[in-house]
Amino acid sequence: MQKTLKIKHLYEHSVLNICLDTLERKKQALVFVNSKSSAEAEAERISAKVKIDGSDRDKLELLASNVLNALDKPTKQCQRLALCVRSGVAFHHAGLHSQQRELIEDNFRSGLIKIICATPTLAYGLNLPAFRVIVRDLKRFSSPRGMSWIPVLEFQQFCGRAGRPDFNDEYGEALCIAETDSEKEKIFDNYINGETEDILSKLAVEPVLRTYVLSLVATEYANTKKSLMDFFKKTFYAHQFGDVRQLEEIIKRILKSLKEWGFIEIIDNKNEGKEGRKEEKETGLEATILGQRVSQLYLDPYTAHYLITCMRRAETKILKDFSFLQMLSYTIEMRPLLTVKVKEYDLIEQKANEFSSSILSLEPSMFEPEYEEYLKSMKTALFFYDWINEVDEETLLEKFNVRPGETRVKLDLADWLLYSSEELAKLIKLHGLIKEIAKIRMRLKYGAKEELLPLLRFKNIGRIRARKLYQNKIKDIEDVKKADLSLLTQLIGKMVALSIKKQVGEDLREEKVQVKETKRKGQTSIMKYDEE
DNA sequence: GGCAGTTCTATATAGACAGCATGTC
DNA sequence: CTATATAGAACTGCC
């Protein structure tokens, strides 16, 4: 249904005008844009022109300070967000710290935040409706095509966020911005009256197909080639793929790789002999122990094989922390990688040469297209390297253009891949590597140098507190035992000091009473510890 | 000389799920 | 079918 709205033309930006109109009507709006920086810029543009209700001012100030202090040290991003929030406006994208994201979402639901400028994150999964949805950008950059129209399905996702029945909205409004008549026509044809594109089967992606094949064999759901084929013939993918023979070729190729990689055995039953067809029917499939573990870990077999070959190569290399970081960075799971900017190209290339004797993955030649991706992996590894050397979030943002939210995602991935590597190393008997991998894993988790590892084993001690202790010559468990309680208290607070003393076996009974008396929120883990 | 405001130019471009076993500042 | 918003540099004009 279309209708005509009259909106005051106060400024040159349509989005801004529509948002101000929305506020005048005491409603909320979501603005969808196509990049993170756009989301931030749009939010700032709007927040600069918003006049907030006096009644909300205090609440918004409080919220702004919460947003600002979500991290140890506020980054530039935190400051920008906090400033917007003071006006009841926010931006929302995957680079936000999860805590900030939650704050924004909750306070939009409650009605305190009026406008959110967001990338498509918000349209998926999360149920965050608004009276008005403004789809600012209908085009988005994607290589290699450059700027292209977003899928109709996505457009519908955006518009589906319009209307808040819980706020007594009887309807919602979804708006697009067209600069010209021809553009307007295009939008109508494409999105309003256009047909949604076909839903692609997820199996179409080869890594997923590979993972499925192995999993079917590993769970013994399919123990012959025939039963495997039969399964896939019934899938949506086959239905959509149309050509069953081609699908069969792909699966055959996958089976061949899985065998080469040592994840399955293909048992040809020659007894039936002469008739070719019958023979194929009897081809048995069986997962090796290694293959079973790969499947359990939910790894793409290709990645599993890559990790194994890297680790086998470790003996011939000068092993460094960086070796493992680069190994992780070069997996398909880690993509998209950090982009190497024009200005950085030489520097990254230089680093690549510097580390070449420690690199576990195969270095592509400079003339292969793959080389670009290799350099990106190098930059991503350098990012991880900074992280485990205690570089703070602000610097990571400036140096690598990686925001806190993105850091978390990358670290989660790295952790999962390292755990998997550890498990694989056990199976292929590379026991020498396990310790090194475990160490790197711990360092990635905390973002700390190796010297802090003994301290990080304590509960309630992260990299900040550990560094503080270390600077005061408290470097390991023994030092904690010897340390004076008052010094510890001075460094990390009474609660934590008592907690770690208790963890080294010193039960300070008298203090225990005090602990209970000085009970504060957020210290539940310590209380629990005391009661054990 | 220093600044605020403007125009010009170079540059980069959305997101998020898998294992496992619990507790960061 | 290959665009555009943004950030930051460069520039201008004013005091």
* CATH for A217: 1.10.10.10
Q: Write the pLDDT tens digit of every residue in A272-308.
A: 555 555 555 578 999 999 999 999 999 999 999 999 9
Residues A39 and A179 in one domain: yes
Decide if A524 is inside a domain: no
Residues A321 and A288 in one domain: no
Of A residues 108-167, those with CB within 7 angstroms of nucleic strand C are 137, 139, 141, 144-148
Decide if A5 is inside a domain: no
pLDDT confidence tier of residue A358, bands split at 50, 70 and 90: very high
> Which nucleotides of strand B are protein-proximal, with an atom < 7 A from a CB?
10-20, 23-25
Of A residues 454-513, those with CB within 7 angstroms of nucleic strand C are none
- What is the token pair recorded at A102? 């939650």
> Which nucleotides of strand C are protein-proximal, with an atom < 7 A from a CB?
1-7
Residues A210 and A287 in one domain: yes
Decide if A1 is inside a domain: no
Give yes or no for a contact between A108 and A116, defined as CB atoms under 8 angstroms apart.
yes
| Residue A39 scores a pLDDT above 50 | yes
Enumerate residues 6+ apart whose C-beta is below 8 A from A379.
Answer: A337, A338, A339, A340, A344, A348, A400
Decide if A35 is inside a domain: yes
Decide if A518 is inside a domain: no
The C1' atom of B22 and the CA atom of A405 lie apart, in whole Å, by 21
* CATH code for the domain in which residue A403 is found: 1.10.3380.30
pLDDT the model gives residue A366: 86
pLDDT the model gives residue A348: 92
Decide if A239 is inside a domain: yes
* Residue whose token pair is 């680093």: A351
Residues A356 and A412 in one domain: yes
Closest nt to residue A344, judged CA to C1'? B11
Residues A99 and A149 in one domain: yes
Of A residues 241-260, those with CB within 7 angstroms of nucleic strand C are none
- % residues pLDDT > 70 (chain A): 93
The C1' atom of C2 and the CA atom of A186 lie apart, in whole Å, by 19
Domain of A218, in residue numbers: 202-296
Give yes or no for a contact between A209 and A199, defined as CB atoms under 8 angstroms apart.
no
pLDDT the model gives residue A526: 35
Residues A332 and A362 in one domain: yes
Q: Write the pLDDT tens digit of every residue in A24-36.
A: 999 999 999 999 9
Q: Which residues of A351-362 are buried (b: 16+ CB within 10 A; e: fewer)?
A: bbeebeebbbbe
| Residue A326 scores a pLDDT above 50 | yes
The C1' atom of C12 and the CA atom of A146 lie apart, in whole Å, by 35
The C1' atom of B20 and the CA atom of A174 lie apart, in whole Å, by 43
Residue nearest to nucleotide B18 (CA to C1'): A298
- Provide the domain count of chain A: 4
